[in-house]
A and B are shown apart, each in its own frame.
Chain A
Amino acid sequence: MTRIRLRELALVLALAIVVWYFRRRERTITASLTRSEEWTARGSAATATPTDADAEGGVDHAALSRAAGILGASPDAVPERVEALDRKVRELTTDVEKTRAAWAKRWWDARRRTPLPADEPHVTLLTIDDGVLADAEAIAQAALDAPQGVTIVVVPDDGTLAVAVGADVEDERADDLAQEIASAAGGGAGGSAEFATGGGDGERLLVAAEDVRDRLAGEGFAT
């Protein structure tokens, strides 16, 4: 009887060991194959193009070292420095935009010292020397406070323009006017009924803008 019990106990013990072994083996296989698969994926990403950088490998050491040299930082510090520079650029961009908006408002206010007709449609053509599209946009935005006004701002040196059409102006859309001017200058334009921007040959833009202004004047817009 005791011998039978001992034999049963030994069999149960052996069975338990076998189960434990195969479960452990299965866990090891699953874990190691999963890691192997992850490495294959990383390897493919790293070798996709010779200059692609990967989180773990395939790093373009020369490019990273050059970037570190430019930044005056260690390669490890490059991500942090780039992030800091990006943050700084965003802050400075915001500052420039605020400054430009303030400048445009003052510029427009100064322009309005010559009274504009408040109760009838009027058209204004402005040119900016040494400016960029962002300057034209800022002034056109400021001009939107004239509900009866059509304002065309051209930057010949930059080959760009912005058009603002007041909310009370009937039968004219900013995007149509901008497209009319830009097309005549060999370029293109887009936007909404009230605000649009475009570009083309600088000199021809100015001539085309003058033609549109004259056309509107002929249609009853004050200048």
Chain B
Amino acid sequence: MPPAGLADVASPYELRPVPDGAGDRWESFVADHPAATVFHSRAWLAALRDAFAYDPASHLLYETGGTQPVGAIPAVSIPGLGGRTVVNPFCEYGFPLLAESVDPAPALRALAADVGPFGARVIKDAAWRGPEGYHAAGYGAVETGEVIRLDTDRSFEAVRSTSFTSEARRCVRSARDQGLTVRPGSVTEYYPLYLETMRRLGSPQFPESFFLDLAVELGDDLVVFVAEESSAGDAIAGGSHDSEPVGGVLALDFGGTRTIWSNASRIDAWDRHPNHLLYASAIRDACETDIQIVDFGRSRPGSGVHGFKREFGGQTSSLASFVIPPHRAGRASLAGYGKVAAVARRLAPAITNPAVGPRLKRYIHE
């Protein structure tokens, strides 16, 4: 039911479901929108559907009675104890892509209408985008961390010398001096490293099928870099495949932006700084291709991960989840995960069991 006072006001917009998060209209609208991210792409939504069997909840927005879409909202509907949550899970950005002519507040109000009596809609947005209309539409907000985005539309040498801190430069040099190299890798090489990291953290893991689905859907736009010990020279130089990987990053490329979506490394290799070399290599590769921005993904200010990412420069921008109805804002809060982290580490063998972890992950849509 619309809020009091709005009952007799017809919405200027209407939502039309996009069952598979796909379709030509969706793909065309997203491809043409300057703020679109990989998390708005058909590939992302298709991988979510295939790996988790979520109920699709993506919509195209139309002017009432119109024939051309003026907005695209990526989401799935996730069941929970208190009711369903409509959200774009496992990512930083789920904001609606709206045409310039669209007034955000009524459009967001239209989105609020389909959450059901116990449901909530969570929309993930970022300060770098200049979010508008949420408060006017009655959404509450929960801050969820920060994202760092580095301009790579310049030479790697310029990025290295002007953006990297001296500590980052030193660690990259040290990694090379200690014989680490980085080469392009595959999802199947990366997944064991990822699984080991999740076990160390006591965090439920994605099923490997999700990574494989993403690789199939995104093709060359899913990029994996693997760090390994080698006597060979420079990074991304096609080192020996016989060496055992000690770290990796999985990045998703879309529309000139590379999002470093997952990063894993072996703890016994940390003294050789594989993560520094991996990030530097992913950035170098971005500088040498048509990637204009490397997005380091979400991290919590004050955390070690955040400090690590800041060593590579870039612009820091706050992230928030906007929630309607606002009294269900707790569904978007990440504070609870931090509180249970210590306990989760103790229960890691159970939580990350192949039969348990992926099932749990389905309901943890951070």
B161 interface hit (Cβ, 8 Å): yes
Say whether A64 contacts B315, CB under 8 Å: yes
Most buried by A among B130, B134, B139: B130
Binary interface profile of B, 273-313, with partner A (CB < 8 Å = 1, else 0)? 00000000000000000000100000000000000001001
Which of B26-34, B214-222, B321-329 makes up part of the contact surface?
B321-329
Quote the shortest CB–CB distance from A31 to chain B (angstroms). 7
Partner of A74, one of B136, B313, B329: B313
A79 close to B (CB within 8 Å): no
Q: Across the interface, which residues of B come within 8 angstroms of A31, CB to CB? A: 140, 329
The CA-CA distance from A64 to B149 in the complex, in Å, is 12
From A28, A33, A37, A58, give the contact of B330 (CB < 8 A). Answer: A28
Q: B127 and A61: CB pair below 8 A?
A: no
Say whether, besides A57-B129, A69-B158, A35 and B141 are in contact (CB < 8 Å). yes
Q: Which of chain A's residues have a CB closer than 8 A to the CB of B131?
A: 39-40, 43
The interface bits of chain B over 24-68 (1 if a CB of A lies within 8 angstroms of the residue's CB, else 0) are: 000000000000000000000000000000000000000000000
Interface string of A46-73 (1 = CB under 8 A from B): 1100000010111101101100110011
Distance of A68 Cα from B151 Cα, bound (Å): 12
User: Residue on A with the closest CB to B140?
Assistant: A32
> Would you call A99 an interface residue if the criterion is a C-beta within 8 Å of the partner chain's C-beta atoms?
no
- Contact B326–A56 (Cβ < 8 Å): no
The residues in A between 171 and 219 inclusive whose CB is less than 8 angstroms from any CB of B are: none
With an 8 A cutoff between CB atoms, is B162 at the interface? yes
Q: Mask for B92-136, Cβ within 8 A of A = 1, else 0?
A: 000000000000000000000000000000000111111111111
Any chain A CB within 8 A of the CB of B142?
yes
Interfacial chain A residues near B127, Cβ < 8 Å: 39, 42-43, 46, 54, 56-58
Q: How far is the CA of A31 from the CA of B174 in the complex (A)?
A: 46
B134 partner residues in chain A, CB cutoff 8 A: 36, 39-40
- Smallest CB separation, B166 vs chain A (Å): 9
Per-residue CB proximity of A1-42 to B under 8 Å, as 1/0? Answer: 000000000000000000000000100110111011111101
In the complex, chain A residues 57-96 whose Cβ is within 8 Å of any chain B Cβ: 57-59, 61-62, 64-65, 68-69, 72-76
Report B165 CB to chain A, min CB distance, Å: 6
Chain B interface size range:
35 or more
Assembled-state Cα–Cα distance A57/B320 (Å): 12
Nearest chain A residue, comparing its CB with the CB of B127? A57
Determine whether the beta carbon of A58 is less than 8 Å from that of B128: yes
Query: A76 and B313: CB pair below 8 A?
Result: yes
Range of interface residues on chain A?
20 to 34
Residues of A within 8 A of B132 (CB): 40, 43-44, 47
Is the CB–CB distance between B329 and A28 below 8 Å? yes
B143: chain A residues at CB < 8 Å are 35
A33 touches B314 (CB 8 A): no
B207 CB → nearest A CB, Å: 32
Whether B151 lies near A62 (C-beta < 8 A) is yes
Q: Which listed residue, B129, B314, B326, touches A28 by the CB 8 Å rule?
A: B326
Judge if B163 is at the interface, Cβ distance under 8 Å.
Answer: yes
Q: Are A36's CB and B141's CB within 8 A?
A: yes
- What residues of chain A lie closer than 8 Å to B139, measured between beta carbons? 36
Closest Cβ of chain A: how far from B161's Cβ, in Å?
7
Check if B231 is an interface residue, CB within 8 A of chain A: no
Separation of A76 and B307 alpha carbons in the complex (Å): 12
Q: Give the docked Cα–Cα distance between A59 and B149 (Å).
A: 11
Q: What are 14 sample pairs from A and B whose C-beta atoms fall under 8 A apart?
A: A29-B140, A29-B326, A32-B327, A33-B141, A33-B326, A35-B320, A36-B135, A36-B141, A39-B125, A42-B130, A44-B132, A59-B315, A59-B317, A69-B154
* Residues from chain A with Cβ under 8 Å of B125 in the complex: 39
A39 touching B313 in the complex, CB below 8 Å, given contacts A65-B151, A69-B162: no
| CB nearest to B166 among chain A residues | A74
Residue of B141, B153, B162, B315 near A39 (CB, 8 A) is: B141
Q: How far is the CA of A38 from the CA of B134 in the complex (A)?
A: 11
A61 and B323: CB pair below 8 A?
no
Q: How far is the CB of A58 from chain B (nearest CB, A)?
A: 6
Q: Mark B146-172, 1 if CB is under 8 A from A, else 0.
A: 000101011000100111110000000
